Amino acid sequence: KNQVEQSPQSLIILEGKNCTLQCNYTVSPFSNLRWYKQDTGRGPVSLTIMTFSENTKSNGRYTATLDADTKQSSLHITASQLSDSASYICVVSAERGANNLFFGTGTRLTVIP
Amino acid sequence: DSGVTQTPKHLITATGQRVTLRCSPRSGDLSVYWYQQSLDQGLQFLIQYYNGEERAKGNILERFSAQQFPDLHSELNLSSLELGDSALYFCASSPRLDRGLGGELFFGEGSRLTVL
């Protein structure tokens, strides 16, 4: 069964600290993996997208990694800011099938001063 | 700004009523997707249209229906509303037919539906 699981469900960190969010998936055959940031009550916004051959991709203070062998991805946030408070959603695409996009339930990150 | 426009932003209605949510995709995007997000829940895929035709269906209730018009805007119709239908409804667009094959999804800001 194609699934995407994220951990932790929620996380509270101090401003300026780093954190790492995890995404494990069982989607097959794998096409790509995306991380989205969703501010409360807003639409998700894409942070990174990685294909099978990519191990890491950065977008400013956000760095995503992908291990296609273990089917794991992580999103590392460096020097967190208050504006990083949001839900981070991992989305994995399968290569085929009409419903080929699988969403994790997200990690809710709260950055406190 | 993603370029995807959703209206209305907020909607309050009573049980048993019917509402229509509207989505205008990014200019040039042919695909429109609808998602439901209940309070503190993940995004649930409802339905996808491509160039006016239904492409894929998710967990969409029979009370819900959608369509995509020749100008590519889409409408999601929700009828016989129940309290549990209260949620954020997001529309997303993508220029690619198969959203999994590298096509980027651009989300609108959502329509918040409250059923009383």
Residues B100, A32: C-beta atoms closer than 8 Å: yes
- Give the pLDDT of residue B91: 96
Q: Which pLDDT score, from 0 to 100, does residue B99 have?
A: 52
Give CA–CA dist B113/B7, Å, rounded: 11
Q: Is the peptide bond before B25 cis (omega within 30 degrees of 0)?
A: no
pLDDT for the residue A59: 94
What token pair was written down for A7?
């951990």
Tens digits of per-residue pLDDT, A27-45? Answer: 888 888 999 999 998 999 9
What's residue B50's pLDDT? 87
Residue B42 banded pLDDT, cuts 50, 70, 90: confident
Structure tokens at B104: 């980027």
B1, pLDDT greater than 90: no
Predicted local confidence at residue A108, as pLDDT: 96
pLDDT level of residue B100 (50, 70, 90 thresholds): very low
Contacts with B43 from chain A: Cβ below 8 Å = 44, 89, 103
Residues of A with CB under 8 A from a CB of B: 31-32, 34, 41-46, 49, 51, 89, 91, 93-101, 103-106
Q: Is the pLDDT of residue B102 over 60?
A: no
Place of tokens 């509303």: B81
The nearest CA of chain A is from the CA of B108 a distance in Å of 6
pLDDT in tens, A60-108: 999 999 999 999 999 999 999 999 999 999 999 887 666 678 899 999 9
B60 touches chain A (CB under 8 A): no
Q: What is the pLDDT of residue A98?
A: 62
pLDDT one-digit tens code per residue, B8-36: 999 999 999 999 999 999 998 888 999 99
Q: What is the DSSP string of A55-93?
A: -EEEETTEEEEEETTTTEEEEEE-S--GGG-EEEEEEEE
**Mean pLDDT throughout B91-109?**
75
Which pLDDT tens digit goes with each residue over A2-32?
A: 899 999 999 999 999 999 999 999 988 888 8
Mean per-residue pLDDT of chain A: 93
Query: Distance between CA A21 and CA A73 in Å, rounded?
Result: 8
φ, ψ at B7 (rounded to 5°): -140, 150
